[in-house]
A and B are shown apart, each in its own frame.
Chain A
Amino acid sequence: MSARPPTRRDGTALSLHDVAVAAYLRGLGGLVRVLEIVADHAASTGIPAATFLATPIVPGFLPFGLQADAACEHARYDTALLLGDPGARPPPSVRTFDGLTAATASAIGLVERLDRAALDEAGGRLLVVNGETVSGSDYLLQHSIPHFYFHLTAGTLILRHLGVPLDDPDFLWAAGSEAGAAAVERASAGSTR
């Protein structure tokens, strides 16, 4: 369980695993909380949860379900890219509510199992992405994680626009909190069953 933020009080430098894994887990833990809130809202309004996944708020802008899937995919694919050849990046998948919940739990499980030494070492290797040569660590910190946060935030704003009661923008990063950490634990337990 490493959803808590990285704290290095011993003076050693932060490593890529410290920073990246904590960011993905925090964001995905927030997504687990968001999905719980969507389910509650669907139950109390009688609106199917699937509606919140599939309703776009701007033409051409991915709806929440695809934004959330894209976030999961950044956590999974981008780290896999550092560690080897994961093949082509798949487009975001249209999923059912349960399918998205499972995909989120699966991404959490994958990130939790990332090998610290292997990821840190991969951070020092260069890779070419869209014609740009970057180090593995810059790829995660400057490209992957900003895109990851983008999709999580976009998904949140879409849900708010659709009337889902997500009152505090900070909830999205709540995996460091008790509720968020518990949500990650639940999702993580589900992913290993």
Chain B
Amino acid sequence: MTHGFYDATVPVYRRGLNGLLTLLARANESSGPDANPLDYLGSTAAEPLRPISGQIVISCHKAGNDMRRVLGRPVLNWPSVELTFAGVNQRIHETCDFLAGLGVDEVVQAQQATVTLGSAAKGNLRTMPATDFILARSLPQFFFHLTAVYVTLRQAGVKIGKPDFLGHL
């Protein structure tokens, strides 16, 4: 690992989000003339999971906002609106662009940061090292939500395989 914390985060999130874009492209192709890719966005793998559109938004927040938290930057609040197919693609691209713009040094230095979660009002305020926050919470949850999108699309009959998403291994 040449760049420590950077190598463990930015390229990993970017690769996952690119896989998500490929999945959505496959869903769009396979939707055909008589089905709308938007139908898939409302599908859900198993209750009480959120539908795909929500899973995608959370995936973007795990990648983008969790990195903003460790970098001490304000988090992005996207308006809660019903998303179109183009809309979710746009959010993934925005998140990829944000990650691509992060410098190696600033991320490596953020390894020293702490992150505060919860709220004083709710009495659940807690602080943890940035490394724990990202590696033990954010990245596993990121992959959870990406995989939920994959499984939901499979259940909906979209012709995809794991290599479309994560590459061959």
Contacts and interface: CB of A to CB of B under 8 A. Distances in A.
Contacts of A27: 140
Given A13-B5, A19-B8, A157-B46, A149 B143 contact: yes
User: Chain B interface residue count: which class?
Assistant: 35 or more
Contact of A6 (B46, B135, B150, B151): B135
B154 A13 contact: no
A90 to B, nearest CB: 13
In the A-B complex, the 4 residue pairs with the closest CB atoms: A13-B4, A5-B136, A149-B143, A153-B147
Nearest to B5: A14
B11 interface: yes
Interface in A37-87: 57-58, 61, 74, 78
B156 to A, nearest CB: 9
Interface string A152-172: 011001101100000001101
A15 B7 CA distance: 10
Given A8-B111, A16-B1, A161-B46, 6 more contacts: A14-B8, A129-B169, A135-B2, A146-B12, A146-B16, A150-B146
27 contacts: A8-B111, A8-B129, A13-B5, A61-B151, A78-B169, A137-B7, A138-B7, A138-B11, A141-B7, A141-B8, A141-B12, A143-B167, A143-B169, A146-B12, A147-B162, A149-B143, A149-B144, A150-B147, A150-B166, A154-B147, A157-B49, A161-B46, A169-B49, A173-B136, A173-B137, A173-B144, A176-B136
Interface in B70-117: 108, 111-112
Contact of A173 (B11, B15, B141): B141
A109 interface: no
Interface in B1-31: 1-5, 7-8, 11-12, 15-16
B1 A150 contact: no
Contacts of B45: 157, 161
Interface in B128-169: 129, 131-132, 135-137, 139-141, 143-144, 146-148, 150-151, 154-155, 162, 165-169
A172 B1 contact: no
Contacts of B49: 157, 160, 169
A153 B111 contact: no
Contact of A146 (B15, B136, B141): B15
A161 B11 CA distance: 32
A153 B154 contact: no
A158 B148 CA distance: 10
Contacts of B168: 130
